[in-house]
Structure 1
Amino acid sequence: MTLKVGELAQRSGLTVRALHHYDQIGLLAPSARSEAGYRLYTAADVARLHAIQALRGLGVPLGEIGTLLASDGSDLPAIVARQTRALDQQIAQATALRERLALLGEVLAEGKQPDVDDWLGTLGLMSTYARYFSPDEIRRIVNGWPRVADEWQTVVPAMQRAMDEGRPPEDPEVQVLVQRWMGLMHRWMGGDFDLMSRWGEVYAKEPQTHRRDGPGLPLVRFVEQASAQRMALWEQHFTRAELSHFRMPALAQVQPLQQAVDGALAAGVPAHGPAAAALVSQWLEVLRQAAGGDGDRARRLLRAYVQVPAMRAGVRLSHEAMDFLVAAAEAAGVCAEEAPPGAGQGA
């Protein structure tokens, strides 16, 4: 069987121009001639063309195909391995892109229609985040932000004022603010300290991740100094693994206790006796919720508050309420045991 160039082009799906190019570069030349002098492709030529197309399908450059076909095939395993790696990379990139598009789709499904600048900014952020976080981590960061967005609007300006006033990181007011800051970060990232750490690195390296109303890098560095002192204090009472289970209680969880203590103070209830002990039990329940539902961690957190006044910075109860509850807890003997080492977030 012999074929003219036009016939081979039609049956192979290639163009005549492509076959002529193969001929010109010495990759595939017709090896027969008709009586009229036309150059013809033989069955062996067609078989070689199939091999060329198969190697092209693997992504092998044309310049390497001729050498490979002339060899004993020993290069083929390396070529297959190389193309497999390339394909794996393409699959990973496509998967990541699909996940980012899914995230954008979720935002649009919530009825949020960004303008062009916001849209392009979101696309840019997604690409930046993809260099540091998995698609699932990006989803957690994006979905967690609404839980803390409103409170950030008060914490960031307050911390900025403290820094501008020249207050040192160990200042009691700064420690109260940084406890709130740490609690918000904890709630935002779902208690994942590795994710929080990497977020800090991204914030430092990628200016495009900064919100217009967010903290500047000088403030972030100031917070890092203050939070290091808070963490050192918490780590005297809880392990880092335990810390991941803590959650800052919502105001709705704390307000009933605050109101109950306010009522007791107004009524002159003493810090010893059954009424005060009942309030300590109510406090312990709030702490149990803050400790991820673990009663032992809640009791240890209560003892830490009683034994170490500095631990109380940033709690959601008033100073008067905390003083009363601490006195009541001491009267009830709940702080008799020592708290083991570690770290956490409380009420």
Structure 2
Amino acid sequence: MKVQNKNWKVGELSKLAGLTIRTLHHYDEIGLLSPSFRNDAGHRLYSEGDIIKLHQIMSLKQLEFSLDEIKNFLEDPKYNPIDVIDMQLKRLDEEIKLKKQLRSELNELLDVFNSWKRPSFEQFINSIELIRNQKKYFTKEQQLRLKKQYDKLGENNSSELMNSWSNIISSFQTEMDNGTPIDDLKIIKLAKQWQEGVNFFTDGDSEIIHSAERYYMDNPQAANGSGMSGELYEYIKKALANIERKLLPK
């Protein structure tokens, strides 16, 4: 932005700065940048000081500060460019952190959906909520351990195990619909198969199992992503509690 005159009309400044007249009028309306003088004809004119201020505004806008923030910076007698840069760096660091988190979640979703033919919209939403909420209950170390355990299976074994898990859920659903009591031998057998599956996925880590129990206790709707209703999940929990009572020493 080259400065050749001492004072500029709004149209002249518009061409000089590469901004629209409407933008300059808006800056004037909000008190961000107003012409300092009027000529004999009553036209409002921008001074060299106004040009310098406009350059500051444009520079701060390139750093993605809002107009309100820029106005506060320029009106603050303690305005320090170093503090402004530090503020924006912290903001960018937070944005980068969020972007990395989003990328991680998208990769997790992709891993899940690659094993499905075509997920439904409901499955898609449930999976997003599942991944995000799990991070509140499982430590990073636990998440890595779960992933390593899953990776050990390989594509063929993981598909086989997931099918087996679905069959267990379907069997529980059938027995619940039939009104089968939780102390029935069929339910006890299913509950033990469920426990074996959980122990396999968690590598028998009691802390991971405890975290999973807390997660599903606080978020019973999350079971829907596995094809379970809240009612079925409660039925399975009672069946598991029943076999645990039977294992306790009398």
Map of 1:102 onto structure 2: 107
Two-structure CA RMSD over aligned residues (Å): 4.3
Name the aligned partner's letter for residue 166 of structure 1: P
Deviation at 1:47, TM superposition (A): 1.9
The separation in 1 between residues aligned to 2:8 and 2:64, in whole angstroms, is 27
Residue identity over aligned pairs, in percent, reads 24
Please tell me whether residue 166 in structure 1 is matched to residue 181 in structure 2: yes
Q: Aligned partners of 1:33, 1:70: CA distance in 2, in Å?
A: 23
User: How far apart are residue 29 of structure 1 and its match?
Assistant: 0.9
Q: Match for residue 163 of structure 2? A: 150
Alpha-carbon distance change, 213 to 38 in structure 1, aligned in 2, over 3 angstroms: closer
Q: Could you tell me how far 1:218 is from its partner in structure 2?
A: 1.9
Give the C-alpha shift of residue 232 in structure 1: 6.6
Cα offset, 1:28, TM superposition:
0.6
2:31 to 26, 30, 34: 26
* Structure holding more helix per residue: 2
Q: Does 1:126 align with 2:127?
A: yes
**SS of corresponding position for 1:148:** helix
Structure 1: distance between partners of 2:43 and 2:93: 45
- Residue number in structure 1 paired with 2:97: 92
Aligned to 1:207: 221
Q: Secondary structure at the match of 1:132?
A: helix
Q: Could you tell me which residue of structure 1 aligns to residue 197 of structure 2?
A: 184
* Shift of residue 70, structure 1, vs aligned partner: 2.2
Amino acid at match of 1:210: N
Which letter maps to 2:106? L
Matched, 1:7 2:12: yes
TM-score (norm 1): 0.50
Radius of gyration: which is bigger?
1
Q: 1:97, CA displacement in angstroms?
A: 2.8
Residue of structure 1 in register with 2:235 after alignment: 219
Distance 1:211 1:72, change over 3 A: closer
Q: What is the TM-score normalised by the length of structure 2?
A: 0.65
Aligned residues: 228
State the shift of 1:128 in Å.
Answer: 0.3
For structure 2, the residue ranges without an aligned partner over 5 or more in a row are none
More deviation in 17-26 or 152-161? 152-161
Q: Contact conserved, 2:27 with 2:33, CA < 8 A, in 1?
A: yes
Q: Which amino acid aligns with 1:53?
A: M
Is contact 2:150-2:201 (8 Å) kept?
Answer: no
Separation in structure 2 between the aligned mates of residue 210 and residue 48 of structure 1, nearest angstrom: 58
